[in-house]
Amino acid sequence: MPIHQPQQRSSGSSERPGVPQAEAALVEHYPRLVRLAYLVLPPALGRHRRVLAAHAAVQRALPGA
């Protein structure tokens, strides 16, 4: 899994990224977000339920959900 360096903003532009760029970033990082959600869920749920709950949590956070 490659580690991406943060992009530097150009000094001439003070605009914030738009909605399409934010959505693209979330979709790009979906696997990492699911892994993070999986790690913070309680182990007592069991592996299968944790995987399903992790995907559900990330999908709820995505735009349009």
DSSP string covering 10-32: PTT--PPP-HHHHHHHHHHTHHH
Residues 30 and 38: their CA atoms lie apart, in Å, by: 12
Mean pLDDT of 45-58: 97
- Kindly tell me if the per-residue pLDDT of 38 is higher than 80: yes
The token pair at 36 is 């993070």
Q: Which one is predicted more confidently, 6 or 34? A: 34
What is the reported pLDDT for 62?
A: 80
- Kindly tell me if the per-residue pLDDT of 23 is higher than 60: yes
pLDDT band at 50 (very low <50, low <70, confident <90, very high): very high
What is the reported pLDDT for 19?
A: 82
- Kindly tell me if the per-residue pLDDT of 52 is higher than 60: yes
HSE of 45, CA atoms in CB hemisphere, 13 A: 13
Q: Which residue's entry shows tokens 């592996």?
A: 47
